[in-house]
Amino acid sequence: MKKLHAKTLDELADLILGTSVGSYRTVKDIHGFFQSADPRFPVFDGIPSRSTCTTAFLQPCNREPITPRQNGEDPLDDQCLEAVILELADPRTYPNDRDTLQTVVDRLNAVLEPEGFEIIYDGHAPRLRGDSVAAESTPSTFSAPNRKVPDFSRLTSNALLVEELNARWKEANRCSEASAHLATVIVLGSILEAALQPMIHDDPMQANCNSTADCILVDHPS
């Protein structure tokens, strides 16, 4: 993948640190995160600061695509950075914590959008789509799970209903991620039904129109 802007790299570092979004990581956790992303990352000794440790890992691999060194070494390269991004979006990084995964993926896509990249999913496996040869060579069947919850309060002022719609939306995401497609459709259908009820209650005449012509008559009675 191409070299990322310095601000983008700072945003990635913040996601890895888990300071404001995602899981908070200690120095030991940060080492484990990078090692899980790509075993080529070294183990640093004597780096007490979380931010210094994260920067030490990220900076060497934020570079334009290169060929391996002639001396046979396996250097940190642009593919290591891609591996780090995919590790951030991997459901296994957040076991039993789908809400955190959703928050991280939403933020990650917002950060990567100006660079021309997007996290998508092939089943459970995250993929990087965009200006990346590796990403383009692997087609994806599904969009990223855990899409951002819509603002259901725009449909109803009933706080309990909004809370229920939010819960159903998250459940639909979980069904989609598990490739339970029929269950996903059923849960989404229940969201639509529940969201329409307050609209019907507020305007029963409009809701009971049998045709477009009837609706016009309701809006513009003679």
The tens digit of pLDDT for each residue in 182-213 reads: 888 888 889 888 888 877 777 777 767 655 54
CB atoms within 10 A of CB 2: 16
* Whether the Cβ atoms of residue 132 and residue 154 lie closer than 8 Å to each other: no
Taking the alpha carbons at both ends of the chain, their separation in whole angstroms is: 65
User: Is the pTM here over 0.85, yes or no?
Assistant: no
As a whole number, mean pLDDT of residues 139-158 equals 65
The tens digit of pLDDT for each residue in 53-92 reads: 898 889 888 877 654 444 445 566 778 899 999 999 999 9
State the pLDDT at residue 18.
Answer: 92
The tens digit of pLDDT for each residue in 25-42 reads: 999 999 999 999 998 888
